């Protein structure tokens, strides 16, 4: 091979120097290519108590680990020679449209993670054309979320509390503000054992200790935001003191029943969804009671540890009630591929919670925009590689759920014991 001295002009053509971005927030968000990348940024920038409240789950956090593992154990089956040059990610859910097959799930204490809180989530949802769900334990009012997202789809998540009048008042306010869907949550009769929160002394308002101060010293930006913005408190509740478990146990009521569901159904003019369904018989009973949809969810692993994996339940529930109601799923979703797999197995919609909060902690409103952009690109790419151009073309044949955990057979013969 004949060699020659490098030509400076040719070298300049080969080496294009990237113009530096002086905006630190935009720079770190642009470097995040996955939700896990956003999680890493969030962990660096957020005090341990607030980060662990988002990141953690109940007891040994087995439910959360299993839910995420279930999505990792998906095998896709692409079709070849089926061009999908233009991928349509839009869908219809609960009587309205969504530009993407996911919405933002209800999260409590959101302004503690980052001062923009629910306004960042609602604003990003409005820009993306997807639904936003406000929690009963949110830190922004029903009316203020509506003001941020006046023309988009707002959903409200309801806990039925010991003082029923409080819950009824929230239902009336959400209806008056034009929210189109009520999400009745049934998996929190009492608080789960969230051990990270207990170890961190996590409470509302935050309690200072030598440990929390030491942890916060490298994160002055979080404290600046926290101390220079309006007081952190529940926007819908008057009681705000105590640990998370104490707050939940004082507000929630383990006696809630189908009678409460009937009362809420009679009050609510829009679509009614029950969140926290974890078995097939309950799904069937709820649809027979006339609810419009269900969310298969174990509360992100934050209530009963070792609870069923929602993604594993999905095919069975869709077979039983999918023709009669909207079946949605959450818990463990960390990528667009997880969402595509859920839609292929019959889900009409999905919800993201931690993924949204990781973006919020990483960069406020811009971080939530980045979360949505990452998931959107992953959805489009996964669908194109599968050879499908629309969500309607996704079918169960596109996905195999590989199972690590198989139930042991039940002993039916007493003599076998």
Please give the annotated binding residues for glyoxylate, written as ranges. Answer: 53, 159, 194, 299, 302
Check if 299 is active-site.
yes
Contact 365, 107 (CB under 8 A): no
Task: Show the DSSP H helices in 177-299 as ranges.
Answer: 195-200, 210-216, 220-227, 244-251, 258-267, 280-288
The CA distance from 390 to 413, in Å, is 50
Between the alpha carbon of residue 221 and those of residues 4, 115, 146, 218, 358, the distances in Å are 54, 11, 28, 9, 16
User: Collapsing DSSP states into helix, strand and coil, what is residue 272?
Assistant: strand
> Among 151, 299, 312, 398, which one carries the catalytic annotation?
299
Name the nearest CA neighbour of 129 among 92, 172, 87, 167: 92
Q: Which residue has the tokens 């219809």?
A: 92
Task: Show the DSSP H helices in 210-255 as ranges.
Answer: 210-216, 220-227, 244-251
The CA distance from 296 to 316, in Å, is 11
The CA distance from 342 to 391, in Å, is 11
The CA distance from 310 to 300, in Å, is 10
Which parts are annotated binding residues for FMN? 106-108, 135, 157, 185, 275, 297, 353-354
Which parts are annotated binding residues? 53, 106-108, 135, 157, 159, 185, 194, 275, 297, 299, 302, 353-354
Catalytic (active-site) positions: 299
């Amino acid at each position: 091979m004949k060699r020659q001295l490098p030509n400076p002009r040719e070298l300049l053509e080969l080496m294009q120097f990237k113009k530096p971005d002086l905006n630190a927030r935009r720079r770190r968000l642009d470097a995040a290519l996955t939700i896990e990348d956003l999680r890493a940024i969030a962990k660096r920038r957020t005090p341990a108590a607030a980060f662990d409240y988002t990141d953690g789950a109940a007891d040994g956090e087995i439910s959360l680990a299993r839910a995420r593992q279930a999505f990792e154990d998906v095998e896709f089956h692409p079709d070849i020679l089926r061009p999908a040059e233009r991928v349509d990610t839009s869908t219809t859910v609960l009587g309205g449209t969504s530009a993407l097959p996911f919405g933002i799930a209800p999260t409590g204490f959101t302004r503690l993670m980052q001062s923009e809180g629910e306004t960042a989530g609602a604003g990003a949802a409005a820009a993306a054309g997807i639904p936003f769900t406000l929690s009963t334990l949110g830190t922004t009012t029903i009316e203020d979320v509506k003001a941020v997202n006046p023309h988009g789809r707002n959903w409200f998540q309801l806990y039925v509390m010991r003082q029923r009048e409080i819950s009824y008042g929230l239902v009336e306010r959400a209806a008056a503000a034009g929210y189109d869907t009520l999400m009745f949550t049934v998996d929190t009769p009492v608080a789960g054992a969230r051990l990270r929160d207990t170890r961190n002394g996590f409470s509302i308002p935050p309690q200072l200790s030598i440990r929390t101060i030491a942890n916060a010293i490298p994160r002055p930006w979080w404290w600046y935001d926290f101390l220079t913005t309006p007081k952190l408190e529940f926007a819908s509740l008057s009681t705000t003191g105590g640990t998370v478990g104490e707050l939940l146990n004082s507000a929630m009521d383990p006696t809630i029943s189908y009678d409460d569901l009937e009362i809420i159904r009679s009050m609510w003019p829009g679509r009614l969804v029950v969140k926290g369904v974890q078995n097939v018989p309950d799904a069937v009973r709820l649809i027979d009671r006339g609810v419009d949809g269900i969310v298969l969810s174990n509360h992100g692993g934050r209530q009963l540890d070792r609870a069923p994996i929602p993604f594993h339940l999905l095919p069975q529930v869709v077979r039983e009630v999918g023709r009669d109601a909207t079946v949605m799923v959450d818990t463990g979703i960390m990528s667009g591929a997880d969402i595509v797999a859920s839609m292929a197995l019959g889900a009409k919609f999905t919800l993201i919670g931690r993924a949204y909060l990781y973006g919020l902690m990483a960069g406020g409103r811009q971080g939530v925009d980045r979360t949505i952009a990452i998931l959107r690109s992953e959805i489009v790419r996964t669908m194109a590689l599968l050879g499908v151009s629309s969500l309607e073309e996704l079918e169960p044949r596109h996905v195999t759920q590989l199972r690590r955990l198989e139930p042991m057979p039940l002993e039916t013969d007493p003599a076998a014991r």
